[in-house]
A = this chain, B = another copy of it.
Amino acid sequence: MEIKHSNFESFVCPLPIKQNERIILSHGSGGRKTKELIDSIFLRYFTNSVLAEGNDFADILIPEKEQKLIISTDAHIVSPIFFPGGDIGRLAVSGTVNDVSMSGGQPKFLSASFILEEGLLLSDLEKIVISMQKTAEEADILIVSGDTKVVEKGKADKIFISTTGIGFAPSNLKIGGQYARPGDTVILTGSIGDHGIAVLAARNELGFSTHIESDVAPLNHLVKSILSATHDIHVLRDPTRGGLATTLNEIALQSNVSIELVEEAILVKNEVKSACEMLGFDPMYIANEGKMIIISPKSKEDIILRILRESALSKDAAVIGRVIPGENHPRVTMHTSIGGIRIVDMLSGELLPRIC
Which residues 15-57 of A sit at the B interface, judged by CB distance below 8 A?
24-26, 28-35, 53-57
Shortest Cβ distance from A105 into chain B, in angstroms?
A: 8
A157 beta carbon closer than 8 Å to chain B: yes
Identical chains in the assembly: 2
A144 beta carbon closer than 8 Å to chain B: yes
Q: Which of A95-103, A201-209, A274-282 contacts B (4 or more CB under 8 A)?
A: A95-103
A349: chain B residues within 8 A (beta carbon) = 26, 29, 31-33
- In the bound complex, do residue A57 and residue B29 qualify as a contact, i.e. CB atoms below 8 Å apart? no
Query: What mask results when residues 328 to 356 of chain A are scored 1 for a CB within 8 Å of chain B, else 0?
Result: 00100000000000000011111101101
Q: Among A8, A54, A100, A253, which residue has the most Cβ atoms of chain B within 10 A?
A: A253
Given contacts A7-B253, A32-B348, contact A72 B58 (CB under 8 A): yes
- In the bound complex, do residue B68 and residue A149 qualify as a contact, i.e. CB atoms below 8 Å apart? no
CA distance A35 to B179 in the complex (A): 20
**A285: nearest residue on chain B (CB-CB)?**
B31
Task: From the candidates B57, B74, B99, B246, name the one contacting A103 in the complex (CB within 8 A).
Answer: B57
A113 beta carbon closer than 8 Å to chain B: yes
Shortest Cβ distance from A19 into chain B, in angstroms?
A: 23
- In the bound complex, do residue A147 and residue B74 qualify as a contact, i.e. CB atoms below 8 Å apart? yes
A225 beta carbon closer than 8 Å to chain B: no
- In the bound complex, do residue B31 and residue A347 qualify as a contact, i.e. CB atoms below 8 Å apart? yes
A112 beta carbon closer than 8 Å to chain B: yes
A256 beta carbon closer than 8 Å to chain B: yes
A93 beta carbon closer than 8 Å to chain B: no
Interface SS majority for chain A: mixed
A14 beta carbon closer than 8 Å to chain B: no
- In the bound complex, do residue B56 and residue A67 qualify as a contact, i.e. CB atoms below 8 Å apart? no
A262 beta carbon closer than 8 Å to chain B: no
- In the bound complex, do residue A150 and residue B32 qualify as a contact, i.e. CB atoms below 8 Å apart? no
CA distance A102 to B58 in the complex (A): 11
CA distance A337 to B164 in the complex (A): 46
Inter-chain pairs besides A29-B347, A57-B71, A74-B147, 6 sampled, C-beta below 8 Å = A24-B350, A75-B148, A77-B151, A149-B356, A151-B354, A164-B164
23 residue pairs bridging A and B, Cβ less than 8 Å apart: A2-B179, A3-B178, A29-B347, A29-B351, A30-B287, A31-B347, A32-B346, A34-B241, A34-B242, A55-B177, A55-B254, A56-B238, A57-B99, A57-B103, A58-B70, A72-B111, A73-B113, A73-B147, A76-B149, A115-B160, A151-B157, A156-B157, A162-B164
Q: Which residues of A are in contact with B by a Cβ distance under 8 Å?
A: 2-4, 7-8, 24-26, 28-35, 53-62, 65, 67-77, 99-100, 102-103, 105, 109, 111-115, 144-152, 154-157, 160, 162, 164-166, 169, 171, 176-179, 237-238, 240-242, 246, 250, 253-254, 256, 285, 287, 330, 346-351, 353-354, 356
